[in-house]
Amino acid sequence: MSLLDAARAVRENAYAPYSNFKVGAAIRGKSGAIYVGCNVENVSYPEGTCAEGGAIAAMVAAGEVELTEVCVIADSPHPVSPCGGCRQKLAEFGRGNVMVRMATVDGPETTMTITELLPGAFDQSHMERN
């Protein structure tokens, strides 16, 4: 199954009773395994949790800590990029040149690297003292 197909399938499981805006994400771990996540809203946090964060949590729960590819899909007029928090998570678990494919259910897509999505990402080097 492709990352796009995996993201499209998990998107259907999103719990979005407030926004009705379902997002699906799929990431490929360094092992080649695919992990998926979808957004989840609730009364106290109607914005919900993000799809990419869920996919990363599934990857970490499976024992992997490096992602090599990302795909996000939503029903929107143009591709939706990961939110700021998810961009930071992607930067922590993927190298800067990892491609992030952003798609819509109707077909339009765009692709950017993690570095393009989050230039100047906070990383371990910011905590090092020489």
Cβ–Cβ under 8 Å, residues 4 and 73: yes
SS3 4: helix
Asked if 128 is an active-site residue, the reply is: no
pLDDT computed for residue 30 by the predictor: 98
pLDDT computed for residue 47 by the predictor: 63
SS3 18: coil
Lookup: tokens for 49: 């949790």
- Residue 43 annotated as lining a ligand binding site: yes
SS3 111: strand
Instruction: Give, as one character, the DSSP assignment of residue 98.
Output: -
Residue in 52, 64, 66, 116 annotated catalytic = 52
Residue ranges per structural domain of the chain: 3-117
Q: Is the pTM of this model over 0.85?
A: yes
The topology (CATH level 3) of 3-117 is Cytidine Deaminase; domain 2 (3.40.140)
Q: What is the rounded distance in angstroms from the CA atom of residue 95 to the CA atom of residue 114?
A: 7
**Could you list the mean pLDDT of each consecutive 10-residue stretch along the chain, which spans 130 residues?**
96 93 96 96 72 93 97 94 90 96 95 93 77
